Structure formats: structure tokens, C-alpha cells
């Protein structure tokens, strides 16, 4: 199997390739360095980036292959993914986006691609190499195997402190009403639901912590906790876009999170939830 | 490997830049990629939306429906005064909404203050050229050109520097300039790396060149800003309580309304009459004046607090203060005066000398041990010390470092004028050398005077001044003795400086040791009493300081602060939040060597234990902890703007005892609100009962809805406000803190308000109404009176029955526990004014025609008012007896315990 990382010669796409490399290393995947030609990107910069990644890959003993597309063609891209036995596509996300035109990462999360997609927002290049703590925020006990495996991979490869941050959304009124006993019960229920991941983690000798929080605003809570815990990377579960995505409030939250995060962030779009 | 530990070439290649800076076309791309170099600001709050929201609160909606129903009633049955009633209800809603909105108007400006710290124009190198750009255009890979006075625009790694010192207090609270170099020097975190410069900090001196590695929100400064922005403020107890009271009373009102509406329909009163009847009951149940009165009480309390040097930014915080169970306080400036004072000298000849007088301006003398009185020795020693200072003390102002000021103040006590001494050359203090020297002409002789850390100076000394005043070589034994003397001072929380000299030579070696000067930041005299007050009030006090554990402990002992353990910042960093919470459950901990960002962890751990935390702070980095704490307390004098913006309360004098005073006011407010809620509820009963009686018995309507409003918004409002300004009761700081889950409207309030005082008032109203009618020839069964004037007179009697009782109720409810007379009848001027206003109001209702028209009242001769007399007296006496019984009961429980 292989992993595709999208390169356009920018610093952040190079940083994303580094995350992809780490992922490939653990799972023994091949890394495809894919560039889709367009007017904006300089081929020289792209090739320069590819060279940098290849040098790193060589040192990490990861096999790489270069691939260039003449332009973005949905069908061609889908076929490439289908025939290429692709596990995950890594793509970077920029700070500035057009209001009316989808960015590349937005385009691919709309496609029916039979692979997982990791859209990475790199805000701090110095955090790419060195990650001491990784955070996986989830809503209560909503955790998919795919999300967990990406989280575990990243945490293991960086040898970083791993934490699952279970957030229970509540209202001020509910927060004021709930007593200690109810809180204990609720948290115990979440822990019980997540217990099979604990067993898996024990098998893989991957230690992680679970923390709980009540919050009125999920995004604020994640950012606050991430900064406080000095996390170097946040992995966040997201849903693939559809026609109805315009009504998907979580999509707006993820976009806001991507815009305001002071920490590098991976929005993970699993194929299973397509 | 950390990026800042990497060779600079590797950093350049990682960021695709060089010493000459990035290519200009690359800059544009990077702005698109990483965004502008700005902090994300909080979305602006719409005040209009906030104001409109007030009209959607429970009480407001209820009254709005009532007003609407009145208008409908007026449409179908005009001329009954329903229109006036609806306007009056709308007035009540507007008053409520406006006052409540005022509370929310205090917008949080922490983010704006942070933004103000960011520079606008900065010098960068791009394509080999130094250019000036707007700071928001800075991108990663840019080369920052730093000079003295510059505000740094982004995080960067230095590759060239010359005597570069930056002030990083905005990040770690450390006010001492921090030297920057080209090497990271074994740093574990970016903040510790000496080759890093940070956004939001300032260049104090020197120059440097750095490559930008993070911009905007991704900088260390941006992360702190993000912490401040993303801390969720918890709901204050008063907000919760207001919500709860509103819900309870609304439910009672609606239930009563529904029940009597149904009964009305069943008793064939007709839909319209049944609706009006239900509406009257709802209005009678809603205490219209309560919410604005609570706001006013909180507002007045905040004004009283300001007079006691505690400026409250958020009205809700006033009551939260009453619930405070833990105060986490800084040491310097809060528990101590933040004025260094030289308190003792140790001369190498063996003399211990104490110095009296504290601070920089007080006069003082030198106290010698018996037989050691030698002023000339002291003068010589202090001259050597004072030559090495730049501080100035003039009539009422001081300039310079606090430690140097302490030495200058001590030398003034010895009549030494440093400015008369000719300084020839100076060897400045650096953090590496930990000492400074001055070559000066003293008494015609050229002398090198040195001052610095004891271990450094002693190492450079080869001799000392002995008992006879002669220079003698230091033997190991003497060296050890001097070191022990220094340690003994340090253990007593003194900052110790060693002083040495050398004649005729400028080399800083082979010095002659002269002695030590012991300096201390003295505790504030009022702190001991404040701490004792906290203890008796069940409030734990924990000291959080950047000083070392020895100093922290010594100060704690000095001010008699109880503590079980001393933790250092490193220990707090290592321990988990759960473990810290566990430790904090039972024990009082002193936190030493703390950096500001560890405060947040302490605040959260305490809050997890259910504590209500008041936390002090002054630095930018304290802002998240101040926001998270239940009560964030910023220092008015030494605090940064960001800390002040993030805090709920600002201490104008930085004094710990002002926090305690504010807590006392907070508790007072809690009980005052309890008192006037009871007072207001008591008058609800005589407003409800007449309607219920009229429903079941064949009597005329005893009280109109407009008359109910005249009580709630007229006669009750001013005494209610006056109750809100009652002074603290004598035992207020001898009780346990108001529990986080203690309710203002508890069973006691219900019992006293509704079932005790309220029932007496209802009896008074109904007895006044019925007996007045009977005295004027009315017979039971006559529902519609032939004489409307008589009906209005009788309704006025009902109104007066309630109001007269409330007039004495306000005097007896002034103290929740103690006799009314123990509070002092003249101690609350506002109450006296309220009595005059209430008297005038009653006079108007009885004698002024326009008021009579609006409120449907009529003149009642004085000779007929005697009926009202016994009830207020009965209410007053029986409530005093009730309180007496309660006191006996409480005393019994206490003695049993």
C-alpha cells in the first residue's frame, strides 16, 4: 500500500510530507510525492521540495516515487487512487482561502475517494520535527478505529505523550445543574465505551491518557487545552463533504479551528465515514 | 533535536531562507500559507443583541405577556384602567432590562490590550536589502534586524548579536533584562533558549539579527493570547442564583395563574374575567423590582469596595467574592511592601548591627550589640557599598533598582552622600559576574569597592578587616564563618550582598572583605491581621512566589501564614493535575520559584476540588490564570494592562488586606441580597391572598393590579435598595464562606418571606380591608359596591396594610440574626431617605389626585387608620423573637459541636 503526499513547493507542503514520511515508516508504506501542475507553483520549487523529502526518506528507509499530473482532473485523480492501492492522502491547508473557490484539500474531501485523507494545517514549522505531546480531541466516546490508528502512529513515531481529550458539550444551565455523582457516572460511561482502545493500546504497548472536559465551546476548549498541554500536534476527526455539507456545523468549526490554531493540526477524513 | 539547537545553516535551509532573507515573491506565498503576523481577535459582541436578550429573560417574557393581555383586556373592556396597567408593566420590563444590560456592558478587552503590545513597523532583510515593513507582513524565514528599543514582531532564532538584552517579562513575568546570545545553552524549552527572541518582547540594549521561525498565533506570545482568549469563564454563583430564583418564582406564578384560570372558567366567570384574574395573580407573584434591586445592590457594593481599594470590573464578581474559599496570592508587593530595606549589617570584624526604619523614606538608626558601638566602621562599610549604586532617593521619589535603593537608604541613615564621592571607573554588574565594582576617590584615597553575591565576592577576597580595623589574611576557618553568616541571613529571607574593597588598584582580585548587608522586602504591617481574619472566616491563603523556598518560608513565618508544604515550580510542572488537586485538598502549600504559567494549573486543581479561587497576578502571562480563577485579582500599581483587563478585580494599592476587605463586602452583599429577597417576597403574599380570597368568598376586589405594581416598583424598591447597602454584620468574617452551592433563595428565605412575614402582612391587609368595609356598612355577600369611592378607600386600606408592615419589616430584616437595635437605627442613611420617600409616596396615594387616579386609591382619614397600627408592631416583635430563637438554636448547635 502507499501514501500520497501532495507537494507544491511550499514550506507547509514539505512539512506535511514529513508527517506522511513518519506514517509510512511505521506502516512500511511507499510514499508517493504527487504534484498537480498549475500556474501558481514553480516546478523548480516543487522539484527542490521533492529532493528534500527524498533525502529524508532515504535516511528513514522509506521508498518514494515521484508523480506529476498535468492538471487537476477529478476522474483521473479518482482512478489513480483506486488503482494505486492508496491508504491515505496527506495534503496541506493554507491560511488564506478563496471564499468562492475550493482549495485543493477541500476538493479532494468532496471526492469519492477510497482512502483516508489527512488535511494538515502547518502553523509552526519548528513543531514538525519535534513533537512532545499529541492531542486527539473527541466528542464524548466518538472515536473511530482509523482516527485512533493515525493518532497512535503519530504518537509512537514521535515518542510523544499521547492524550485523548474527551469533550462533553454542555450548556451553562446543565453545567450548573450536574452534581459530582452524575459527572462521575457520565465519565465512567465514556471510559467504558473507550475500553477496547485501551486494550488495543496495551497490546501495542502504546501508553496514552484520557482526559475529560465539559465545554460550552468545543473549538475553544481544544485550543486552550492543546496550548496548555504544550501539544505539538492535534489530530481531529472530520467528516467528508457532501452536498449537505453547507448545513454541517462541524465543518465550520473545523475551518475556524484550522484558521485560529496556534498548533499544527491534522483534520482526518476517514473513508469509512464517507 | 530541538530546532533552536540546530546549526543556523540547517534552520536557514529548513525555512528556505538565508542570511540575506527570503525572496520577495516567496514572502507573498508565505503570507497566504501561514497567514498574516497578527493575533486572532475575539469576535465583537453586539451590544444591541445583548440588550434585546434582556427582553427574552423569564420574568421579562412573563411580564410582556401580562402587558399584552392587559392591552387585549382594554380592547374588549375599555375604561377599566387595563391600558395604564399594561404601560406600567412595560415600564417595569424596560427598567429591568436596562439595569440588567448594564452588568453585561463591561466587555472583555484583554485581547485588545495584547494587540497593543504588538509593533507596527519593523526592519527586515529581504533579498539582501534592509527594508521597513508593517509587522503583519512578517513571514517565516524573514531576517529581523533588532536594535535597542525595538518591539520584536515574531519569534526568531538569533545568528548575530552584540550585547543583546531583551525584556521577556510579557512571557515569563521576569522583569530582569535577559541576555541573548547565538547559542541555545542547553535549553529544554524555547523560552529557556538563549538564542531565541520572541514576539511581544522588547530589546532593552544591544543589537541582533534573527531568522523568523514563527509568526502570529503560532508564536509563544500568540499561544498565551490564545490561552487568554479560549479560557471559558465559568457561570458566576449570582448568575446561577438569579436564574434559579427567576425560574422558581415564574413556575409558581404560572402554576397559580393556570389553576385560577381553570377555576375561573369552571365557576362561570367567563374567559375574559378568568384571564384577567390569572394575569393579576401572575403579576402579583412576580417581584418586579427584584432584579434591578440586585443589580443596584451589587453596584453599590462595588463602589464600597472601590473605597477600600478594590476596583470591581464585573458586578457578578462581587457576590462570588463572598464565596471565596482560597486566596492564591503573590508575595512581592501584596504580602510585602515591595520596598527593599537594609535591615542588618554584618561587619568582617564580627559586629552584628540592626538598622531601624523601613522603606526608602523613613529615618532610622543603627542598633549595636553591647560593646560593639563603632559608627565609623559602619559608615566606612556603607560608603563602600553605596559607591556601587546608581539609585537615587529624593524628597518623594525614587529612581533605580530596589536593592540599590535599600543600600542608598541605609547610607543616608549613616549621613553618607554618595554624590560627593568622585567615581573614576566602573565595572558594571552582569548576571554572569554577579558582582560590580567601582574605582573611586574616597577621603583622598583611590579605592576599588566591590559588591555582589557572597560566594563570588568571598572567592575574590584574600584578606578581611579584623576587630582592630587592620587588614588580615583570610584563613579557611574565617572564610567558612563568613559563608555561614551569609547563609544564616538567607535562611531568614534576607537578600545578602557582600562588600569588599582594595586600595589603589583596579584589579578585581585579592580584595579585602568588609562584610555583608542584609536586605529584605518587609511584610506589610496590616497583613498579619488580614490573614487572621481569613483564617477565622474559613478562607485558606496560599502564597505563590518567584522567590526561593527559603525566602518564601521565612516570609510565611514572619506574617504567620499557615502552611504544610513548600512546592517549587518544577514540582508543580512534574506533578499531574489530579495529584496536585489531591494534595491541595487538605494542605496549605506555599508555591516557590513559580513562573506565571504554572498558576493556571493551581487554579484549575483548586477548582476541581470545588474551591472558589481568588488569584492575584500582575504579568501578561498571569492573564489566563486570572481569567480562569473565580476571582482574578490584578495589581493596580505594578500590574500590566493585560492582567488588569483579564481580571475581575483590580487592587488599587496592591495590598493583600484589600482582598480580604473585598471578600468581607462580598459576603455582606450575599446576606444583603438574602435580606431584600425575603423583604420583597413578604410583600408578595398580601398581593396574592386578596385575589385568592376574592375568588372563594363573596367580597369586593381588595387590591388592583396597578396597586400591586405601586408596591413592587414604588414602596418596596427604595427600602430594598437601602437593604442592599447595609453594613457587614458583626460576625460576617467569623463564619465559614458562603458555600458554592448555597442558595440565596433557600428554605429559610421562603419560610421567613412567604409563610411568616408574608402571612402577617396578608392578615394586616385583609383585616384592614374587611373591617374598613364593615365600619362603613358593608355586609358579607356584596361583591359590587354601590359606592365606588368606598371601594377605592377600602382597597387603599389593603395597600396600606401591606405597606405599613413592610415599613417595619425593613427595620427588623436589616440583621439576619441579631436584634434590629444592635445594628444602629441611624447607621444606614439610605434607609432613612427610603423611609422619607416611602412616606411621601403614601401621602401622594392618599392625598394627591393624579396619583389617586393612576393607582385607583382614595383619601382615608387619619382617624380611620388606627386599624393598621397593631400589625406592623406584631410583625416587628414576632420577627425579633424568631431571630432570638434562631440565635439560641445556633449557639446550642455550636456548643454541642
pLDDT tens-digit readout, B586-609: 788 999 888 766 788 888 889 888
Q: Write down the catalytic residue from B142, B150, B330, B547.
A: B330
Per-residue pLDDT averaged across B485-514, rounded?
89
Give the minimum alpha-carbon distance from A85 to chain B in angstroms, rounded to a whole number: 30
Within 10 angstroms of residue A133's Cβ, the number of other Cβ atoms is: 18
- Residue of B1, B6, B12, B14 for testing the chain A interface, max A β-carbons within 10 Å: B14
- Cα gap B686→B506, rounded to integer Å: 93
| pLDDT confidence tier of residue B462, bands split at 50, 70 and 90 | very high
Of B421-430, B481-490, B491-500, B511-520, give the lowest mean pLDDT range.
Answer: B421-430
Residues in chain A: 274
* Cβ-nearest to B35 among A96, A129, A130: A96
Within 10 angstroms of residue B839's Cβ, the number of other Cβ atoms is: 12
pLDDT at site A243: 59
pLDDT at site B118: 44
Name the grid cell of B205: 540594549
The DSSP letter of residue B869 is: T
pLDDT at site A260: 82
Of A37-46, A158-167, A237-246, B642-651, give the lowest mean pLDDT range.
Answer: A237-246
pLDDT at site B833: 93
- Residue of A126, A128, A258 for testing the chain B interface, max B β-carbons within 10 Å: A126
Residue B100 has pLDDT above 80, yes or no: no
> B330 an active-site residue?
yes
pLDDT at site B149: 66
- Cα gap B758→B682, rounded to integer Å: 4
pLDDT at site B108: 41
pLDDT tens-digit readout, B283-293: 777 776 676 67
pLDDT at site B46: 66
pLDDT at site B110: 39
- Cα gap B384→A47, rounded to integer Å: 69
pLDDT at site B578: 84
Residue B175 has pLDDT above 60, yes or no: no
First to last CA, chain A: 20
**Most confidently predicted of B154-168, B364-378, B554-568:** B554-568
3-state SS string for B250-304? HHHHHHHHHHHHHHHHHCCCCHHHHHHHHHHHHHHHCCCCHHHHHHHHHHHHHHH
| pLDDT confidence tier of residue B460, bands split at 50, 70 and 90 | very high
- CB-based contact A126 B4, cutoff 8 Å: yes
Q: Higher confidence at residue A274 or residue B239?
A: B239
Name the grid cell of B665: 463586602
Give the minimum alpha-carbon distance from B751 to chain A in angstroms, rounded to a whole number: 24
Give the minimum alpha-carbon distance from A130 to chain B in angstroms, rounded to a whole number: 6
pLDDT at site B77: 65
- In 3D space, the residue among A224, A227, A223, A229 whose CA is nearest the CA of residue A209 turns out to be A229
Within 10 angstroms of residue B864's Cβ, the number of other Cβ atoms is: 15
Percent of chain B with pLDDT over 70: 88
- Residue of B29, B189, B233 for testing the chain A interface, max A β-carbons within 10 Å: B29
Close Cβ partners of A171 (under 8 Å, ≥ 6 residues apart): A216
Instruction: Provide long-range contacts, Cβ within 8 A and 24+ apart, for B217-220.
Output: B217/A123, B217/A260, B217/A261, B217/A262, B217/B35, B217/B39, B217/B40, B218/A123, B218/A124, B218/A262, B218/A263, B218/B34, B218/B155, B219/A262, B219/B154, B219/B155, B220/B155, B220/B171, B220/B190, B220/B191
Percent of chain B with pLDDT over 90: 23
- Cα gap B256→B599, rounded to integer Å: 51
Phi and psi angles of residue A89, each rounded to the nearest 5 degrees, phi first = -110, 130
Q: At what angle do helices A145-158 and A195-203 cross, to 10 degrees?
A: 40
CB B552 within 8 A of CB B521: no
- In 3D space, the residue among B422, B417, B378 whose CA is nearest the CA of residue B394 turns out to be B417
pLDDT at site A121: 92
B214 touches chain A (CB under 8 A): yes
- CB-based contact A12 B34, cutoff 8 Å: yes
Give the minimum alpha-carbon distance from A78 to chain B in angstroms, rounded to a whole number: 26
Per-residue pLDDT averaged across A19-36, rounded?
93
List strand residue ranges (DSSP E) for B453-539, in order. 461-465, 471-473, 495-503, 511-523
pLDDT at site A184: 81
pLDDT at site B461: 94
- CB-based contact B34 A215, cutoff 8 Å: no
Chain B positions touching A261 (Cβ under 8 A) are 217
CB A115 within 8 A of CB A271: yes
A212 touches chain B (CB under 8 A): no
- In 3D space, the residue among B415, B417, B412, B455 whose CA is nearest the CA of residue B433 turns out to be B455
- Cα gap A215→A230, rounded to integer Å: 20
Residue listed under C-alpha cell 543603627: B366
pLDDT at site B792: 93
| Phi-psi label, residue B318: left if phi above 0, alpha if psi -120 to 50, beta otherwise | alpha
Q: Higher confidence at residue B880 or residue B350?
A: B880
Chain A positions touching B240 (Cβ under 8 A) are 176
Which residues 613-632 of B have a C-beta within 8 angstroms of A? 624
Average pLDDT score over chain A: 85
pLDDT at site B228: 62
Which residues 255-274 of A have a C-beta within 8 angstroms of B? 259-263
Name the grid cell of B313: 470590573
- CB-based contact B232 A95, cutoff 8 Å: no
pLDDT at site A90: 94
**Most confidently predicted of A170-184, B171-185, B647-661:** B647-661
| pLDDT confidence tier of residue A201, bands split at 50, 70 and 90 | confident
CB B508 within 8 A of CB B450: yes
Q: Are strands A2-6 and B445-452 parallel, antiparallel or unpaired?
A: unpaired
- CB-based contact B243 A10, cutoff 8 Å: no
A215 touches chain B (CB under 8 A): yes
- Cα gap B646→B648, rounded to integer Å: 7
- In 3D space, the residue among B146, B167, B147, B148 whose CA is nearest the CA of residue B157 turns out to be B146
A95 touches chain B (CB under 8 A): yes
CB B80 within 8 A of CB B292: no
Residue B622 has pLDDT above 60, yes or no: yes
- CB-based contact A94 B223, cutoff 8 Å: no
Chain B positions touching A263 (Cβ under 8 A) are 218
- CB-based contact B223 A10, cutoff 8 Å: no
Chain A positions touching B217 (Cβ under 8 A) are 123, 260-262
pLDDT tens-digit readout, B710-736: 887 678 878 888 888 888 888 888 888
pLDDT tens-digit readout, B372-409: 677 888 889 999 999 888 777 777 667 667 788 889 88
- Cα gap B819→B734, rounded to integer Å: 18
CB B605 within 8 A of CB B571: no
Chain A positions touching B234 (Cβ under 8 A) are 175
Q: Higher confidence at residue B739 or residue A88?
A: A88
> Coil, helix or strand for B829?
helix
Residue B686 has pLDDT above 90, yes or no: yes
Residues in chain B: 897
Phi and psi angles of residue B610, each rounded to the nearest 5 degrees, phi first = 85, 10
Per-residue pLDDT averaged across A13-37, rounded?
93
- Cα gap B786→B623, rounded to integer Å: 72
Close Cβ partners of B43 (under 8 Å, ≥ 6 residues apart): none
pLDDT at site A144: 86
pLDDT at site B795: 94
- CB-based contact B218 A96, cutoff 8 Å: no
Phi and psi angles of residue B252, each rounded to the nearest 5 degrees, phi first = -55, -45
pLDDT at site B202: 77
Average pLDDT score over chain B: 83
Angle at B736 between CA B733 and CA B742, to 5 degrees: 120
Q: Higher confidence at residue B513 or residue A42?
A: B513
A96 touches chain B (CB under 8 A): yes
- In 3D space, the residue among B675, B689, B679 whose CA is nearest the CA of residue B716 turns out to be B679
Of B35-49, B98-112, B303-317, B527-541, give the lowest mean pLDDT range.
Answer: B98-112
- Cα gap B24→B13, rounded to integer Å: 17
B30 touches chain A (CB under 8 A): yes
B41 touches chain A (CB under 8 A): no
Chain A positions touching B628 (Cβ under 8 A) are none
pLDDT at site B114: 40
Which residues 452-511 of B have a C-beta within 8 angstroms of A? none
Per-residue pLDDT averaged across A169-189, rounded?
76
pTM of the model: 0.59
Per-residue pLDDT averaged across A188-192, rounded?
88
Q: At what angle do helices B47-54 and B82-104 cross, to 10 degrees?
A: 140
CB B730 within 8 A of CB B844: no
CB B124 within 8 A of CB B201: no
Amino acid at each position: 500500500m502507499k501514501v500520497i503526499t501532495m507537494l507544491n513547493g511550499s514550506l507547509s507542503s514539505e512539512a506535511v510530507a514529513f508527517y506522511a514520511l513518519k506514517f509510512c515508516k511505521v506502516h512500511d508504506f511507499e510514499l508517493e510525492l504527487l504534484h498537480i501542475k498549475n500556474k501558481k507553483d514553480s516546478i523548480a520549487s516543487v522539484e527542490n521540495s521533492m529532493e528534500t523529502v527524498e533525502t529524508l526518506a532515504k535516511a528513514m528507509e522509506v521508498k518514494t516515487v515521484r508523480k506529476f499530473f498535468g492538471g487537476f482532473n477529478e476522474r483521473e485523480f479518482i482512478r489513480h487512487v483506486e488503482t494505486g492501492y492508496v491508504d491515505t492522502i496527506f495534503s496541506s491547508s493554507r491560511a488564506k482561502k478563496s471564499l468562492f473557490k475550493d482549495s485543493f484539500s477541500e476538493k479532494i474531501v468532496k471526492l469519492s475517494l477510497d482512502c483516508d485523507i489527512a488535511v494538515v494545517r502547518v502553523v509552526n514549522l519548528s513543531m514538525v520535527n519535534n513533537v512532545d505531546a499529541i492531542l486527539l480531541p473527541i466528542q464524548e466516546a466518538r472515536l473511530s478505529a482509523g482516527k485512533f490508528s493515525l493518532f497512535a502512529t503519530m504518537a509512537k513515531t514521535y515518542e510523544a505523550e499521547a492524550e485523548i481529550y474527551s469533550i462533553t458539550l454542555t450548556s451553562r444551565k446543565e453545567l450548573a445543574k450536574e452534581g459530582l455523582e452524575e459527572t462521575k457516572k457520565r465519565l465512567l460511561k465514556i471510559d467504558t465505551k473507550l475500553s477496547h482502545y485501551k486494550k488495543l493500546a496495551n497490546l501495542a504497548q502504546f501508553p496514552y491518557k484520557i482526559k475529560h472536559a465539559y465545554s460550552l465551546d468545543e473549538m475553544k476548549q481544544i485550543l486552550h487545552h492543546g496550548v496548555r498541554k504544550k501539544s505539538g500536534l492535534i489530530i481531529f476527526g472530520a467528516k467528508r463533504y457532501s452536498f449537505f455539507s453547507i448545513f454541517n456545523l462541524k465543518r465550520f468549526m473545523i475551518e475556524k479551528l484550522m484558521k485560529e490554531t496556534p498548533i499544527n493540526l491534522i483534520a482526518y477524513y476517514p473513508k469509512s465515514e464517507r | 533535536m530541538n530546532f533552536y539547537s540546530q546549526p543556523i545553516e540547517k534552520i536557514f535551509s529548513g525555512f528556505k531562507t538565508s542570511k540575506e532573507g527570503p525572496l520577495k515573491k516567496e514572502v507573498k506565498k508565505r503570507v497566504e500559507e501561514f497567514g498574516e503576523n497578527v493575533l486572532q481577535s475575539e469576535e465583537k459582541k453586539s451590544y444591541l443583541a445583548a440588550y434585546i436578550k434582556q427582553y427574552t429573560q423569564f420574568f421579562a417574557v412573563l411580564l410582556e405577556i401580562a402587558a399584552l393581555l392587559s392591552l387585549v383586556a382594554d380592547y374588549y373592556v375599555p375604561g377599566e384602567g387595563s391600558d395604564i396597567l399594561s404601560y406600567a408593566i412595560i415600564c417595569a420590563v424596560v427598567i429591568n432590562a436596562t439595569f440588567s444590560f448594564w452588568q453585561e456592558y463591561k466587555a472583555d478587552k484583554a485581547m485588545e490590550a495584547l494587540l497593543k503590545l504588538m509593533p507596527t513597523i519593523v526592519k527586515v532583510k529581504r533579498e539582501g536589502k534592509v527594508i521597513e515593513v508593517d509587522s503583519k507582513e512578517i513571514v517565516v524565514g524573514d531576517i529581523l534586524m533588532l536594535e535597542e528599543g525595538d518591539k520584536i514582531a515574531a519569534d526568531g532564532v538569533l545568528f548575530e548579536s552584540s550585547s543583546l538584552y531583551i525584556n521577556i517579562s510579557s512571557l515569563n513575568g521576569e522583569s530582569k533584562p535577559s541576555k541573548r546570545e547565538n547559542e541555545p545553552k542547553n535549553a529544554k524549552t524555547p523560552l529557556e533558549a538563549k538564542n531565541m527572541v520572541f514576539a511581544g518582547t522588547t530589546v532593552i540594549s544591544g543589537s541582533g539579527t534573527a531568522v523568523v521561525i514563527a509568526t502570529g498565533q503560532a508564536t509563544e506570545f500568540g499561544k498565551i493570547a490564545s490561552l487568554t482568549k479560549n479560557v471559558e469563564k465559568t457561570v458566576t454563583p449570582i448568575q446561577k442564583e438569579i436564574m434559579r430564583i427567576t425560574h422558581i418564582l415564574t413556575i409558581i406564578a404560572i402554576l397559580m395563574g393556570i389553576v385560577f384560570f381553570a377555576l375561573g372558567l369552571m365557576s362561570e366567570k367567563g374567559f375574559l374575567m378568568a384571564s384577567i384574574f390569572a394575569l393579576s395573580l401572575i403579576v402579583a407573584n412576580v417581584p418586579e423590582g427584584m432584579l434591578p434591586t440586585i443589580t443596584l445592590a451589587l453596584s453599590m457594593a462595588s463602589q464600597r469596595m472601590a473605597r477600600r481599594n478594590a476596583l470591581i470590573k464585573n458586578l457578578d464578581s462581587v457576590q462570588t467574592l463572598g464565596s471565596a474559599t482560597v486566596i492564591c496570592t503573590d508575595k512581592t508587593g501584596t504580602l510585602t511592601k515591595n520596598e527593599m530595606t537594609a535591615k542588618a549589617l554584618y561587619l568582617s570584624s564580627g559586629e552584628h548591627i540592626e538598622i531601624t526604619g523601613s522603606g526608602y523614606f523613613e529615618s532610622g538608626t543603627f542598633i549595636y550589640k553591647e560593646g560593639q558601638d563603632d559608627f565609623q566602621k559602619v559608615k566606612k562599610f556603607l560608603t563602600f557599598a553605596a559607591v556601587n549604586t546608581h539609585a537615587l532617593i529624593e524628597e518623594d521619589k525614587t529612581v533605580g533598582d530596589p536593592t540599590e535603593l535599600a543600600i542608598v537608604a541605609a547610607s543616608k541613615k549613616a549621613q553618607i552622600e554618595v554624590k560627593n564621592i568622585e567615581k573614576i571607573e566602573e565595572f558594571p554588574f552582569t548576571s554572569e559576574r554577579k558582582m560590580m565594582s567601582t574605582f573611586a576617590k574616597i577621603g583622598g584615597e583611590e579605592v576599588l569597592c566591590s559588591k555582589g553575591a557572597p560566594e563570588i565576592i568571598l572567592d575574590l577576597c584574600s584578606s578581611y578587616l579584623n576587630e582592630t580595623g587592620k587588614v588580615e589574611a583570610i584563613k579557611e576557618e574565617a572564610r567558612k564563618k563568613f559563608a555561614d553568616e551569609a547563609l544564616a541571613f538567607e535562611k531568614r529571607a534576607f537578600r545578602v550582598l557582600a562588600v569588599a574593597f582594595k586600595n589603589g588598584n583596579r584589579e578585581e582580585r585579592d580584595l579585602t572583605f568588609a562584610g555583608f548587608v542584609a536586605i529584605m522586602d518587609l511584610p506589610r504591617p496590616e497583613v498579619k491581621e488580614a490573614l487572621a481574619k481569613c483564617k477565622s472566616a474559613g478562607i485558606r491563603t496560599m502564597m505563590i512566589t518567584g522567590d526561593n523556598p527559603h525566602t518564601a518560608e521565612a516570609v510565611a513565618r514572619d506574617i504567620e501564614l499557615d502552611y504544610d508544604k513548600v512546592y517549587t515550580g518544577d514540582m508543580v510542572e512534574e506533578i499531574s493535575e489530579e495529584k496536585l488537586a489531591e494534595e491541595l485538598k487538605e494542605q496549605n502549600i506555599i508555591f516557590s520559584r513559580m513562573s506565571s504559567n504554572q498558576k493556571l494549573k493551581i487554579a484549575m486543581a483548586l477548582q476541581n476540588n470545588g474551591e472558589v479561587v481568588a488569584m492575584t497576578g500582575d504579568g501578561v502571562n498571569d492573564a489566563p490564570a486570572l481569567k480562569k480563577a473565580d476571582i482574578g485579582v490584578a495589581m493596580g500599581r505594578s500590574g500590566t494592562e493585560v492582567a488588569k483587563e483579564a481580571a475581575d478585580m483590580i487592587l488599587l494599592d496592591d495590598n493583600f488586606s484589600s482582598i480580604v476587605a473585598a471578600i468581607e463586602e462580598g459576603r455582606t452583599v450575599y446576606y444583603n441580597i438574602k435580606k431584600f429577597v425575603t423583604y420583597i417576597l413578604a410583600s408578595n403574599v398580601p398581593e396574592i391572598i386578596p385575589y385568592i380570597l376574592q375568588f372563594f368568598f363573596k367580597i369586593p376586589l381588595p387590591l388592583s393590579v396597578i396597586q400591586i405594581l405601586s408596591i413592587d416598583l414604588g414602596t418596596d424598591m427604595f427600602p430594598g435598595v437601602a437593604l442592599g447597602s447595609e453594613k457587614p454584620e458583626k460576625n460576617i468574617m467569623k463564619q465559614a464562606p458562603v458555600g458554592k452551592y448555597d442558595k440565596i433563595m433557600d428554605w429559610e428565605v421562603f419560610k421567613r418571606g412567604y409563610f411568616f412575614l408574608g402571612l402577617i402582612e396578608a392578615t394586616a391587609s385583609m383585616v384592614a380591608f374587611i373591617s374598613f368595609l364593615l365600619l362603613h356598612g358593608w355586609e358579607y355577600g356584596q361583591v359590587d359596591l354601590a359606592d365606588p369611592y368606598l371601594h377605592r378607600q377600602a382597597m387603599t386600606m389593603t395597600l396600606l396594610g401591606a405597606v405599613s408592615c413592610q415599613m417595619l419589616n425593613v427595620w427588623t430584616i436589616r440583621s439576619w440574626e441579631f436584634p434590629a437595635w444592635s445594628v444602629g437605627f441611624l447607621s444606614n442613611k439610605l434607609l432613612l431617605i427610603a423611609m422619607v420617600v416611602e412616606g411621601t409616596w403614601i401621602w401622594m396615594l392618599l392625598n394627591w389626585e393624579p396619583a389617586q387616579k393612576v393607582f385607583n386609591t382614595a383619601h382615608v382619614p387619619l382617624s380611620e387608620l388606627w386599624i393598621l397600627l397593631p400589625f406592623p408592631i406584631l410583625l416587628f416583635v414576632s420577627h425579633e423573637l424568631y431571630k432570638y430563637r434562631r440565635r439560641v438554636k445556633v449557639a446550642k448547635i455550636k456548643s454541642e459541636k
